[in-house]
Chains A and B, each alone.
Chain A
Amino acid sequence: DAGITQSPRHKVTETGTPVTLRCHQTENHRYMYWYRQDPGHGLRLIHYSYGVKDTDKGEVSDGYSVSRSKTEDFLLTLESATSSQTSVYFCAISGQLKRANTGELFFGEGSRLTVL
């Protein structure tokens, strides 16, 4: 199994509070991703990173920011949580891209966030 851990695994918070989710990997993989998974929507990319301090937006980045100061850590921050951000958040990592730009994603176990 790829060494990837997410914390916290569960969190309940109130609207307007800041929240930070952490993704930690021990695989020294270059690429890291944050997805959210919601019923009826599947997995949607929030932000991704292609190296230390190199990040970019995904499909649903509004209301989220990320930081990657070390290879092994990728942080997802909700500056002011809203109820629409209630979701299960998955971190994924990927190493060297193979032919046809194909990288296998290794996923963490997910962080379930509830915003009341």
Chain B
Amino acid sequence: TQLLEQSPQFLSIQEGENLTVYCNSSSVFSSLQWYRQEPGEGPVLLVTVVTGGEVKKLKRLTFQFGDARKDSSLHITAAQPGDTGLYLCAGAQRGSTLGRLYFGRGTQLTVWP
């Protein structure tokens, strides 16, 4: 059973379009992180959200943590081919003291020129 469910699993869009990726759970998390992974490389952290309702912006990327801290979304405005990659959400559970993260299966985004 996957603790974090990401949707959609695959997303293929044209340059300039907007998109949203979702990360949902029935569990509460103390924090959620979003990573981006390119082929042949390890994931790289994009953002960490820790407060329910928190919104963070990173250029064209907007991240939101749900009020109940059970879900998160990633919105990309005017997608570019350079945004292509695997987007992973990861959550730290309350009470865990060792920085363990649980990952979703990821959303594979392809942006065509």
Contacts and interface: CB of A to CB of B under 8 A. Distances in A.
Interface in A50-101: 50, 56, 58, 90, 92, 94, 97, 99-101
A41 B105 contact: yes
Interface of B: 2, 30-31, 33, 35, 40-45, 48, 50, 88, 90, 92, 94, 96-106
Q: Interface centre among A43, A44, A104, A106, by most B CB within 10 Å?
A: A43
Identify the interface centre among B31, B48, B101: most chain A CB within 10 Å of its CB. B101
Interface of B, helix, strand, loop or mixed by DSSP:
loop
Contact of B88 (A43, A45, A109): A43
Given A48-B98, A107-B43, A108-B42, A101 B104 contact: no
Nearest to A41: B105
Describe A's contact surface by its main secondary structure.
strand
A101 B31 contact: yes
Contact of B31 (A44, A102, A107): A102
A107 B42 contact: yes
Contacts of A58: 100
A31 interface: yes
A83 B40 CA distance: 21
Contacts of A110: 40-42
A102 B33 CA distance: 9
A96 to B, nearest CB: 9
A31 B98 CA distance: 8
Contacts of B90: 43, 105
Contact of A100 (B50, B101, B105): B50
Contact of B44 (A35, A41, A99, A107): A107
A43 B103 contact: yes
Nearest to A50: B98
A103 interface: yes
Interface string A19-49: 0000000000001010100001111110010
